[in-house]
A = this chain, B = another copy of it.
Amino acid sequence: MPKTLFKLDLSKPMEEQAHPGHNRWHPDIPSAFAVDPGTAFRMDCKEWTDGQIKNNDDSEDIRKVNLERVHVLSGPVYVNGAEPGDLLVVDILDVGAHQGYEWGFNGIFAKENGGSFLVDHYPEAQKSIWDFEGIYTTSRHVPGVKFAGIVHPGLIGVAPSMELLQEWNKREEELKATNPDRTPPLANLPTPESAVLGTLKGAEFDRVAAEGARTVPPRENGGNCDIKNLSKGSRIFFPVFVDGAKLSVGDLHFSQGDGEITFCGGIEMSGWIDLKVDVIKGGMAKYMIKDNPMFKPGPVDPLYSDFLVFEGISVDEKDGKQHYLDANTAFRRACLNAIEYLKTQGYTGEQAYMLLSSAPVEGRVAGIVDIPNACCTVAIPTQIFDKDITPK
């Protein structure tokens, strides 16, 4: 494994680290270190809440989580020679857990704390702890399943330019302004509360904290994409918006189902990631990779080949209202159908919900043009269960 260029003490909060990471996006957060193209290096990563969630059977920490603190990221890495207009090529060489931290958590956020994808059905906080044994994970809170993780960084991205940052803030402010009192808010705007900004201090800290975008959403820079297949062996092509590209990473997941539907999230873990960087000069225009990163998945995702697939359409389950080609509703219905099925196999709704968010579950947009119903599917690998769950 390559040399560790970003070292963390996992027992301490991010601001107390020798070199703190950050939990906002801003071009002026100082780089943690610089590397030449072609360099491989290791970075430690803390789980996204910075240690708020404990390995126990009590969901109170999930219910009371401070979301201004997320996501604590490692970096930024300055890549020598990278300039706006280039593509930053990032290879995810490997990713794993540290000794003594071979566990992760999944949680359903409480409605009072923002909720999750199925908040109207599952408004209460709940937590499941997942133990890692090599490539596999199991949970004392979701019995009867064991699966190989597709370990990946939920969040990896480059710094925005000042212009891009302002565009983000503007559009998200405009969205929030359409319903400013909504809980949860339509968007999380910049806030100095619980901000960590690397080595910044004083007035510069205050300025950047006031301007820095929250890390919750994925954006043009990549960021919190929560793409489960962005795993070991993947190569990502990022548009570069600032000198040095300023790559940051965090929010490691041992595994995740498509959609990350419980919000918290996949199987969240601390750990390390080995990256290698390179630069394609002028690549943004050459390949028209301008609006979002592109990637090439690695070849070692677990191979499951037997699935049960649940369908959903864009009719609201509460009032039967017909929505127009609404993939969100269709995907929600597919998830709910899957949960109802798993309940016939002995799981509680909450267990089934957390399982969908944790296991290598495929969420697909099947049909998006068949007026007025979108059709989405959720595919659950049957081989992860210790019994046959197929109807007979």
Contacts and interface: CB of A to CB of B under 8 A. Distances in A.
Contact of A364 (B91, B325, B362): B362
Given A311-B218, A375-B226, A364 B366 contact: no
A315 interface: yes
Tally of this chain's copies: 4
Most buried by B among A261, A291, A310, A388: A291
Contacts of A261: 368-369
A58 interface: no
Nearest to A259: B368
A133 B300 contact: no
Interface string A301-338: 11111111111110101001111111110010110110
Most buried by B among A91, A305, A334, A341: A305
Given A227-B377, A305-B383, A368-B260, A171 B287 contact: no
A376 interface: yes
A36 interface: no
A367 B287 contact: no
A187 B372 CA distance: 5
Contacts of A373: 217-219
Given A227-B377, A322-B172, A365-B258, A295 B309 contact: yes
B184 A227 contact: no
A304 to B, nearest CB: 6
Given A327-B328, A328-B326, A328-B327, A313 B218 contact: yes
B135 A370 contact: no
A378 to B, nearest CB: 9
B304 A366 contact: no
A195 interface: no
Most buried by B among A2, A321, A337, A379: A337
Nearest to A298: B135
A237 interface: yes
Given A171-B322, A185-B371, 4 more contacts: A237-B391, A263-B369, A292-B333, A294-B337
24 contacts: A135-B233, A171-B320, A172-B322, A175-B323, A187-B322, A217-B313, A217-B373, A224-B370, A226-B366, A259-B365, A259-B368, A260-B369, A260-B370, A263-B369, A290-B340, A291-B340, A292-B311, A292-B333, A294-B309, A295-B309, A299-B303, A305-B306, A363-B368, A365-B376
Interface of A: 1-2, 40, 87, 89, 91-94, 97, 99, 102, 114, 116-117, 133-136, 148, 167, 171-172, 174-175, 184-188, 216-220, 222, 224-229, 232-233, 237, 258-263, 265, 274, 276, 280, 283, 286-313, 315, 317, 320-328, 331, 333-334, 336-337, 340-341, 343-344, 362-377, 379, 383, 388, 390-392
